[in-house]
Amino acid sequence: MVSNRVIITFVLPVVFSVIFGSLVLNDILQKPDRELNMWPMSSSDGGSSHGSLIEITGLSKQYSISQPVEIQVIVDDDAFNCGDLYITIYSSGKSSVITQGGFFEQCSENDRLILPVGDEFSKVVSSPGSYEIVAEIISKELKNISTKETFTVK
């Protein structure tokens, strides 16, 4: 049998926390220009976010099985002069990751940032098919911009 002391000590604080948290969240979401973004690190539109300019350069539309995919990313946005770059190749139409590259602390003092700085993204995709490449930059302030393009391997 559960005693009243256990209910007061363990269950009641959890119930009050959930109720109080729900009331606060409801109040915040009622204010104009507020929305609940559960996954702030991803961009739902697949293109650039925050009105920034990011593009993938050097990507061909078609590669052979033994040919490496080599790209660079150009960022033309003052808010993203320093951050982490992630380049991921997905199987097109599926969410399975084929390969990924991470380039940390990518910084430049130029207005037009060409990434990766002092490194290169070069990966071989060994299976024929259609693929999607996504480039995403996350700044130190945890703002992100991303873009994606498609290519095929024959």
One of 2.60.40.2550, 3.20.10.10, 3.30.460.10, 2.60.40.290 is the CATH number of 54-153, namely 2.60.40.2550
- At residue 16, φ and ψ (nearest 5 deg) are -65, -35
| 142-154 confidence digits (pLDDT tens) | 888 889 999 999 9
Asked if the model's pLDDT at residue 52 lies above 60, the reply is no
Asked if the model's pLDDT at residue 112 lies above 80, the reply is no
When the pLDDT of each residue in the chain is averaged and rounded to a whole number, the result is: 81
User: Given this model, what pLDDT does residue 53 score?
Assistant: 78
Asked if the model's pLDDT at residue 40 lies above 60, the reply is no
User: Given this model, what pLDDT does residue 120 score?
Assistant: 87
For the chain, the structural domain boundaries read: 1-36, 54-153
Ramachandran sector of residue 10 (left: φ over 0; alpha: ψ -120 to 50; beta: rest): alpha
Pick from 80, 96, 104, 101: nearest CA to 132: 96
Entry pTM: 0.63
